[in-house]
């Protein structure tokens, strides 16, 4: 049986070098997604006035190659004698409205459908895209 020293002397390339072990830590995960739907609904209620009510609201995550956000779809119901006037005002100002959401930007806000029943009731179906500020 040959000793280890003889083998190491004859084959110097076979030496095993031990290096300090480094702990590899994964990159910190991205913070959990922030939800802005509550803020968005509150701003829309303010814009709609006292006779406005949100009857349906859904949200689903959305992302592109450069942005992360959410698609919101909701139904805003306006009632009362000035429902048509309020609906016209919302239609005119919705695209340019400043929603001032904390940590989010409203990238797109459109009216998908308008339902009218009589003179004192209007339902607006809205599609809103929000993106997270980085």
Cα–Cα dist 75/98, whole Å? 19
Backbone angles phi, psi at 109, to 5 degrees: -140, 120
Cα–Cα dist 94/44, whole Å? 9
Instruction: Give the model confidence (pLDDT) of 65-116 as tens digits.
Output: 899 999 999 999 999 988 888 899 998 988 888 888 888 999 999 999 999 8
* Percent of the chain predicted with pLDDT > 70: 76
Q: What is the pTM of this model?
A: 0.71
Res 17: pLDDT: 66
- Please give the C-alpha separations between residue 56 and each of 32, 41, 81, in angstroms, as whole numbers: 25, 10, 22
Write out the H or E segment, with its range, that includes residue 53. Answer: strand 52-63
- Give all domains of the chain, ordered by start, each with its CATH number: 37-132 (3.30.2000.30)
């Amino acid at each position: 049986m040959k000793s280890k020293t003889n083998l190491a002397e004859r084959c110097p390339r076979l030496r095993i070098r031990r290096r300090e072990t480094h702990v590899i830590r994964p990159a910190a995960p991205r913070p959990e997604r922030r939800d802005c739907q509550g803020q968005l609904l509150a701003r829309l209620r303010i814009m709609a006035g006292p006779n406005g009510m949100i009857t349906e609201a859904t949200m689903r995550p959305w992302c592109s190659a450069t942005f992360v956000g959410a698609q919101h779809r909701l139904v805003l119901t306006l009632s009362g004698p000035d429902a048509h006037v309020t609906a016209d005002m919302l239609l005119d100002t919705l695209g340019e409205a400043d929603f001032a959401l904390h940590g989010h930007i409203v990238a797109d806000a459109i009216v998908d459908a308008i339902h009218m029943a009589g003179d004192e009731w209007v339902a607006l179906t809205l599609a809103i895209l929000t993106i997270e500020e980085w």
